[in-house]
Structure 1
């Protein structure tokens, strides 16, 4: 559920808002929905990895990957645009994963301990 919420929201808002909005989406979704920190991290990582790869392909396929290939030549990728695509997805996934992890950890820190007695 968390995966699909982050994926759909990020695909929709990425056309009109800046790239860092995925961190806010992942943080809020994990804060309200996630049950564990590992689930939050990997769901957000996978969702944004897929979303950013899809969005990059939407930009790269119509021009036959010309710009992506030229940018890939600036890095030690051997001019392979697919490596640039994977690195883009990994960077976005790490941003979202760390943000979702922060959201779920904040939720856990605000929760009262089990055995606490109100005075």
Structure 2
């Protein structure tokens, strides 16, 4: 469980910092790379990516919404079929970022498994 918490924290910090200078999709690179490096199980990788990437979007959006950007979020929510609900837009953006990060982390785990298969994961019958 210690490695799951560390992986989640690394993804949260890495996604938040890299998105300051790169586009939004840079969270894919962070989650994929960290999951390939740490070698978690697929479930742990998805959960860490979901939490790390989702919180890297949700926490700044929550802070901005509570500190004066609620009008902008409300206007943006009227463009989308959200009925002008800024809080629903906030939740939806965190979920989308979390799903992207989770799927990227699972891809990193699977990429690492494909690159270095072990005898334990072999499907060939043994004689």
Alpha-carbon spacing, 1:24–1:64, altered in 2? closer, same or farther (3 Å): closer
Counterpart Cα distance in 2 of 1:14 and 1:105? 24
Question: What is the CA–CA distance in structure 2 between the aligned matches of 1:58 and 1:83, rounded to whole Å?
Answer: 15
Match of 2:28 in 1: 23
Helix, strand or coil at the partner of 1:39: helix
Give CA-to-partner distance per residue, 1:38-71, whole Å, 9 cap, x none: 1001101111111101122344333340110011
Q: Which runs of 5+ in 1 are unaligned?
A: none
Residue among 102, 110, 118 paired with 1:113: 118
Q: Which structure has more helix as a fraction of its residues?
A: 2
**What residue ranges of structure 2 are gaps of 5+ in the alignment?**
1-5, 123-127
Give the number of aligned pairs. 116
* Structure 1 counterpart of 2:42, from 16, 37, 41: 37
Larger deviation, residues 50-59 vs 77-86? 50-59
TM-score normalised by the chain length of structure 1:
0.87
TM-score (norm 2): 0.82
Counterpart in 2 of 1:98?
Answer: 103
Compared CA separation, residues 98 and 64, structure 1 to 2 (3 A): closer
* Paired position in structure 1 for 2:62: 57
- For the Cα contact (< 8 Å) 2:39–2:112, is it kept in 1? no
Contact 2:28 2:100 in 1 (8 A): yes
Q: Choose from 76, 90, 104 the match for 1:85.
A: 90
